[in-house]
Chains A and B, each alone.
Chain A
Amino acid sequence: DTAVSQTPKYLVTQMGNDKSIKCEQNLGHDTMYWYKQDSKKFLKIMFSYNNKELIINETVPNRFSPKSPDKAHLNLHINSLELGDSAVYFCASSLLTEVGEAFFGQGTRLTVV
């Protein structure tokens, strides 16, 4: 049973399109995250939700909008895709405690052409 699953694994799309990435966790965690990994492998937090409430919203263009319908799901919608959005996007979940480790999905490799 996959702990954190995100779909799709690969996404190739044209500039200007709108796309969504879905994430689900079955670990009973109360907090979910989106991270972006750039071409140099650098990982940076984008958003975080705790019990469906947004708690982290880093400096990310407004074209990115997270949605959490319940605490087991966190989706990422991206409007008007740009070439610079090409990256690997990771979903993760954890308990909002100082010691709880995060579990990551397999990643979505987004390529904007």
Chain B
Amino acid sequence: GDSVTQMEGPVTLSEEAFLTINCTYTATGYPSLFWYVQYPGEGLQLLLKATKADDKGSNKGFEATYRKETTSFHLEKGSVQVSDSAVYFCALKRGSQGNLIFGKGTKLSVKP
């Protein structure tokens, strides 16, 4: 079945460091891919998405590129801030039923 494998955390970085969170997927067909972020005590917010191969999603300095050949959708940010501390989820959308399949989440802590 469809699945998402995400880099295990927690990840601890200093402010202004470069961030990469790896995400790979297994799916039939070409699903849409998403990154969601969950700040402490809150619900999930969409961070960015890509709907077809080679699409690049970007938002708030974060980027991810849909790579069909490596079935990957890695999240990157050039310079993290303390306010980026949160749990990040990679997900794919099953087209036939519409639900999201999530990775296990990666907790990011950014220290000043």
Contact = CB atoms under 8 A, between A and B. Distances in A.
Interface of A: 4, 31, 33, 35, 40-45, 48, 50, 55-56, 90, 92, 94-107
A101 B93 CA distance: 8
A73 B31 CA distance: 27
Contacts of A95: 98
B105 A94 contact: no
A48 B99 CA distance: 8
Contacts of A41: 38, 87, 104-105, 107
Interface residues of B, number: 25
Contacts of B100: 35, 43, 45, 92, 102
Interface of B: 31-32, 34, 36, 38, 42-46, 49, 51, 87, 89, 93, 95, 97-102, 104-105, 107
A95 B98 CA distance: 8
A59 to B, nearest CB: 13
B51 A42 contact: no
Contacts of B107: 41
Contacts of B101: 45
Given A97-B95, A98-B95, A102-B46, 19 more contacts: A4-B43, A31-B98, A41-B87, A41-B104, A43-B89, A43-B105, A44-B102, A45-B100, A48-B98, A50-B98, A55-B97, A55-B98, A92-B44, A98-B31, A98-B51, A100-B93, A101-B49, A102-B93, A104-B45
